[in-house]
Amino acid sequence: MAAFADLSNLPSASQPPSKRPKLSPPPPPVPRTALELLLAQPASPPSPTAIPAPLLACCLPPVNPLSGDVRLSEIVGTAGSGKTNLSLSLCLSSLLSSPSPVLYLTCGVEAGGSAAAGDVTPAIQRFERIVRGHCGEHDAPPASSLLARFHHMSLSDTDSFEAVLLSPPDDPGSIHRLLPTPLPGLMVVDSLAGLYRSSYSDDAAPSQIPPSFFFRLSASLRTLPFHTVLINQVKREATPCFGLPWSCCVNARVALRRHLVGGDSTGGSKFKRYYKIEFGGEGEGEYRIEEGGVVDAGE
Amino acid sequence: MCDLPVCYLPLPPPCVRSLSHLDISHLSDASSSPPALSALHSAGIALPPAPPKALSALELARRPQQPVVTFVQPLDELLAGGLPPCAITEVSGPPGAGKTALALQCCVNSTLPPEHGGAGGAAVFVSTRSQFDAARAGQIAGGLARHIGVVSKGRSDFSAETVLSRLHVFHCGTLASLLSCVAASLPALETDPPVRLVAVDSLSFLLRGVPSNTERALALAAIMEALNKLSRDSGPAVLVVNDATVKGGGDEWAGEGGGEVVPALGEAMAGMVATRIRLGEGGGQRDAKGCEVREAEIIKGVMGGGGGRACFVVTEEGVRGAKL
């Protein structure tokens, strides 16, 4: 599995803005008609996995070659609702659909728990199980070819996160300079709330982040030529972290929840899991988590 | 205004080329051309603004008068016919309230033929944040074409392709490109039929990323000034989409720990627009077909519509009035 080189020597993210080369103003934008954009819109390919179709359409829509617009989608839910499983399943779907790699950013506590960049995180272990579970059941490419295109980066603190994701594109430490070749088809950030919540001591802390930070982050992610899925946590009463300002920064939100329906034969708990696209798409339904990842419970 | 030829000025070659390209031969010509002013400003020359031109009531009456309908009848009644031409309307609300859907619907409606009560023009959609959903625009255009087909009993050749070919889309991913678009690209855009609606979705997204309040206020003022000038000079209705924020407490949704959900960009925005529409949930109601009902409230109106609420739904065919 690919991993990025040592991030401890992140260069010159602290270089003062006055020393950075100034970018020339962009040329005025050129219009397209909606008809041109519609005719250029590629059709959605058949799904290579059993992820519910609305989720795939919401988080991994085909990119229009004329506009090149990318999508920021958010997956939100309580602990254990399946956010990481869904994001990893989306990674698998992206790997099976195109030759592009995927990039998975583990942020916050889980990243910091690893001794150094390159250690195997729980997300990487889970992805290996998903790939082997999928390859074992389907006529799929060898697991090794999929795992080799799963690129992982750990960002354990807010400083390194901001240095990578908020630096100008020409900055050597910017995400633009750290991307694998060829460019990924999908990036997952797991998770924004985990990163910023671990920087503070109480539940009220995320409200200390100025809204302009979220808009800058969103604008920076949109300069990347691929879709991004961000995982978020919830606060009390299942309200997504970061509230209304962050909600305005993403194109779509998928809310996951689970209900305890009893016990299973092994003495564990049995859950029913539901997804709902709260905005940026349509769809709601039930899903399951299996060895091969998230599957539509309606199938 | 000094009528000095620009060739007599000690201008750097790039500035000279820009002015030549814009067909500016004298300083007096530059005063009414924002791109020329920008080129001169970059060369360190700031011109005083051109004095305002007085318009007679007859000239004002001859400007486009047909409002752009929203297809939500109660809302159109509150707005005295629809989105007013030669003025700016703001629509705000939390994510999922229907702002983009309403903006797309109004863009499509601006192409409605005059014989069917429409403005009979073209539309411009300036996207700052997300993918322009061409498929969704196609659905809404198809809905309008089917409606015209029913009303005209099949005698109209008005099609979804006609609508979509008259909807011009700009993508502005940065504040600089948005400023360039509203100040230079839109005034220079020539379409047939002429543009009757300019929608910006969303105005607040790029501005809220500016950390300095002063810089944000200056950028907002520059954009709104350019949009105001566009609507006054060329006559289209302008619709700006604004986000919602929480005033008075934390980052919670309203009703969960305090704070009122209000339009973003502050009270300064209120003074820059003629009409303000706030979209929100409809209290969990569903219409006769099971669609979620949403609410549009006029919080500022000029055309006799200050206050009042209208219920609407977002269907596959577009935005429609709710039938409860």
Reported ipTM: 0.81
Choose the final residue of a domain: B235, B252, B272: B272
Measured between CB atoms, which of A37, A242, A251 is closest to B134? A37
Q: In this structure, are B208 and B251 located in the same domain?
A: yes
Q: In this structure, are B89 and B222 located in the same domain?
A: yes
A285-298 pLDDT, tens digit per residue, is 999 999 889 999 97
Instruction: Determine, yes or no, domain membership for B257.
Output: yes
- Is B137 close to A215, i.e. CB distance below 8 A? no
Instruction: Determine, yes or no, domain membership for B94.
Output: yes
Q: Is A68 exposed, middle or buried (0-12, 13-18, 19+ CB in 10 A)?
A: exposed
B256 touches A: beta carbon within 8 Å = yes
**What's the whole-number mean pLDDT along residues A131-155?**
83
Instruction: Determine, yes or no, domain membership for B7.
Output: yes
| Sequence-ordered list of residues with C-beta below 8 angstroms from that of B180, at least 6 positions apart, any chain | A25, A26, A27, A28, A29, B172
Instruction: Determine, yes or no, domain membership for B289.
Output: no
Q: Residue A200: list chain B partners with CB under 8 A.
A: none
B159-216 pLDDT, tens digit per residue, is 999 999 999 999 998 888 898 899 888 988 888 899 999 999 999 999 988 888 888 8
**What is the number of other CB atoms lying within 10 angstroms of the CB of residue A269?**
12
Rounded to the nearest 5°, which phi and psi values hold at B275?
Answer: -135, 140
Nearest chain A residue to B190 by CA: give it.
A31
pLDDT score of B312: 96
Buried b (16+ CB within 10 A) or exposed e, B42-65: ebebeeeeeeeeeeeeeeeeeebe
Closest of A165, A192, A282 to residue A246, by C-alpha: A192
Summary mean pLDDT of chain A: 81
Q: In this structure, are B36 and B130 located in the same domain?
A: no
| Candidate from B15-19, B61-65, B71-75, B111-115 with smallest mean pLDDT | B61-65
- Is A64 close to B131, i.e. CB distance below 8 A? yes
Closest of A42, A31, A70, A61 to residue B165, by C-alpha: A31
Instruction: Determine, yes or no, domain membership for B121.
Output: yes
Mutation target vs B (from A58, A70, A74, A244; most B CBs, 10 A cutoff): A244
d(CA B33, CA B98): 36
Looking at per-residue pLDDT, the higher value among B315 and B51 belongs to B315
Bridge partners (DSSP) listed for residue B5: B26
Q: In this structure, are B108 and B249 located in the same domain?
A: yes
Q: In this structure, are B27 and B152 located in the same domain?
A: no
Measured between CB atoms, which of B130, B134, B251 is closest to A245? B251
Assigned token pair, A191: 């998770």
Q: In this structure, are B151 and B94 located in the same domain?
A: yes
Residue A12, pLDDT above cutoff 70: no
Q: How far is residue B216 from each of residues A24, A32, A37, A82, B205, measured CA to CA in Å?
A: 20, 29, 32, 39, 11
Find residues 160-219 of chain B whose CB sits inside 8 Å of chain A.
161, 163-174, 176-177, 180-181, 184-185, 189, 202, 204-206, 208-211
- Is A239 close to B165, i.e. CB distance below 8 A? no
Q: In this structure, are B31 and B125 located in the same domain?
A: no
pLDDT score of B250: 46
Return the CATH number of the domain spanning residue range A72-296: 3.40.50.300
**Total structural domains within chain B:** 2
Q: Residue B144: list chain A partners with CB under 8 A.
A: none
- Is B251 close to A207, i.e. CB distance below 8 A? yes
Torsion sign (Cα): B67, B71, B72, B77: positive
d(CA A73, CA A249): 9
**What's the whole-number mean pLDDT along residues A145-162?**
90
Instruction: Determine, yes or no, domain membership for B171.
Output: yes
Q: In this structure, are B32 and B104 located in the same domain?
A: no
Instruction: Determine, yes or no, domain membership for B284.
Output: no
Q: What is the DSSP letter of B115?
A: G
Q: In this structure, are B120 and B163 located in the same domain?
A: yes
Instruction: Determine, yes or no, domain membership for B278.
Output: no
- Is A279 close to B95, i.e. CB distance below 8 A? yes
A19-78 pLDDT, tens digit per residue, is 444 445 556 678 999 999 999 988 887 788 889 999 999 999 888 888 878 899 999 999
Domain, as residue range, for B177: 80-272
- Is A243 close to B246, i.e. CB distance below 8 A? yes
pLDDT score of A13: 40
Torsion sign (Cα): B134, B140, B143, B144: negative
State the CATH number of the domain containing residue B194.
3.40.50.300
- Is B205 close to A249, i.e. CB distance below 8 A? yes
